[in-house]
Structure 1
């Protein structure tokens, strides 16, 4: 089989176009629905999710993303990632919701108060992880 140069260039151009349009599809297939991540994080912090402060919600996460973007708290190279999360309501493979617990307020005779913080964490190889706070609550006194 003989191919002309024009045919070869056309085949390469079509292949490049297919790869470029397929990348967002692969990213979408490899992402996690935001609602699924929220359900997982609420299961990790049941004492907060069932308390007065209510569970972590999609609205809460999207509001934190919007606030981070509008107040300039997000590095420029990660702004498009957060915009994509807000638009498609899916977390890319390098993003996750994480919770952390710390204790404060311990004084003689008073037990420490358990504090829970939920953040959106985006892995960034060059500069370490970027953390956007989503939720913070005092979950109550630590049992002794």
Structure 2
């Protein structure tokens, strides 16, 4: 799911490359970066609030993009051929309420966990201790187990 109104469709026979489609009528929604010839979107995650994040493979490595979930407007980009800062994109795992959870890629393999700010794409936390696969307001699920929130 791209957002409450849009769904991400990969390599659709009807639409060609990656598309975001309106759930109400199936019409395509323009999303910057989707359908580009050198991109292969692997995963999109909606943060259950305002943003959607998509990880793609490109000819220049991984690329992670943050989008406004309603308009589909790209807010930021990390990695890939368009990244002017030269950052490496983390592998997208999950997201929740403005936090993007991923793993830094080292030689193409998942490495250290990282949290990015969903609004800006900037590093938010580098010392997680665990790599969450799913997160909500009550708990985080990792490969090591379930961790409940304090309080």
**Same fold, TM-score > 0.5, yes or no:** no
Q: From the two aligned structures, give the one with the greater strand fraction.
A: 2
Indicate the structure (1 or 2) with the bigger Cα radius of gyration.
1
Q: From the two aligned structures, give the one with the greater helix fraction.
A: 1
Query: TM-score with structure 2 length normalisation?
Result: 0.24
Query: TM-score with structure 1 length normalisation?
Result: 0.24
Considering Cα pairs closer than 8 Å and 6+ residues apart, tell me whether 1 or 2 has the greater RCO: 1
